[in-house]
Structure 1
């Protein structure tokens, strides 16, 4: 009999430390979407977002329809208050779905550094190591003291070198997994024979303040940049507004009337496809003007109305077995930021926003709708020459 595993992400509409925290954009994406995306691509069978925020429920319904795993459930006002415990939300939720699961995995949106492999490690510990519950921890090499001046985790008279010091394991608030029986009997996320999974030390930071937010953002940028490796570019993904166009839209009484495109960009895309680079378009707008222009350019991979571009690209990569390193991306604003960090090469026009220029691998000399795409195509064609003899 197959064991059913579910992920549970509790979100509250109100947040005292950082107002609207769960919806605030971290690298251009709502905070909660980082944990949600990793849960989707983990070995969990279903992932529930449990919230009292109708805006989040609507956002998920519109932007994650490509995944059958994702579900939302309305959280009661009583269990979304400042005084309500996470355990009370877990038990309320469990009753609402008639306890239809075997393993319950609590994931925290305030831990956006959590990765799918960490979730899988927790599930494995429960299923193969015979644990009743599992908690994620990090190993800190800090020296801990009590308030009454006592050293807790070392002998201060024999201060160890860092390389000789095992350190101390600390909960990082990221993952708590438990069997249904243990949860319902104890009413707690942890009980019985508890196992641990050790996560990297940088995952100790949880977002509770604006300072935490800034630290996490830099850690994510550093992680993505550290994963970039040289590889032949086989796919080019482009945003539309501010990349194909100058970002301006002409409206009439019926709505969107026109956008301005550069013919040189169209020729650049035609040439790059002749060099076996597949071209894709991904935009948050659902524009008939864009659809018609891409049809004219004979681009078949056109994805309109994509708000969470990062999760959409992760799903596309998964379906087509694409390596991030073989993808180039051209964007101009913060909703492109996560994808630009994720792929092998990222470009932005000379008139892109400042945050994008700070993370782009290359800021192009040309502006959007003034040959920026053509310039990027020429770079990719020349870059790929170094792989011809491999």
Structure 2
């Protein structure tokens, strides 16, 4: 999963037909604009049918020979979900932001995705066993039971993984231009907290305790702080104000802020004592050496309709000494070509969630250059992509654990 695009369906199901904030293109005819919602509806129906078809076939219809009520009841449940899901998404993630509807929609989407994945795998196993003439008449029912059991186990474990305080991931990052005085600088990375319809104020407080226990010099929040407005998520975001850092606490917007008052979140973080890096930078000093901490708006900001919001690296670095090493915070890893072209030393990003629910990581890789971890781009630039601290939408993490990351900066080559 990658944020609100996590399982291929985005809160663009809002009544306004999307969240970009862009006015209609002047050259687009009214008829074409009227056909656009119809096309979107057709795509949505197709996606929902494709998600439900493998579970229906593998669990109910592939020769399992269940007692007579099972097949019609299973069919009714899946059809009922397909019909109700778009309305729940609109109610939960649209203008009304009904948290109860969002919880139902998000959770059910995660359940269907896991059932879809393992039903496809189960169907393939059934085909192979059938080709080998193994299993006899009870094979299809055995496969259906196995798929249901595996899905239930993964959903239970995945929910625990999503709701727990993330594990600490520790990593040394060598930056040749880093001054000796900055060697050992401790940078803690948070990303994709996604405070949302499930009240996680207590979780947020425990995350804060975990961060403070790491004794950081710098704390970075790499965006997608919440799904909802600052007023809606005030209690969940409040613990961020108690995070301690010797040198700086910095924050940039993610794509989700641009559907829920991006400027309001910049202001909220400033009120909590953080430095909002809204295409700007700050310089920190340690041991007589200096480091530029720069940040850019999310790459979707230019389409948000908010004046002055866009990813602008030139503005972010304006006035910075070019001889100093630069740590850039940009929500999406796909910004790294711009960072590499500018000679940035280290870019920190989130957005991907590491896929969040396997095997979505393979789809994320189509859109992003990296799914998680440390990578090199060009001669100088390193990119660290966090799996994220929270989760978007479905409260599950399957084979993609959340993380609080401790990056220890080291001077000199590795």
Per the TM superposition, whether the score is higher than 0.5 is no
TM-score range, shorter chain: under 0.3
Going by fraction, where is helix more abundant, 1 or 2? 2
Going by fraction, where is strand more abundant, 1 or 2? 1
TM-score (norm 2): 0.24
Q: Which structure has more RCO (C-alpha within 8 Å, separation ≥ 6)?
A: 2
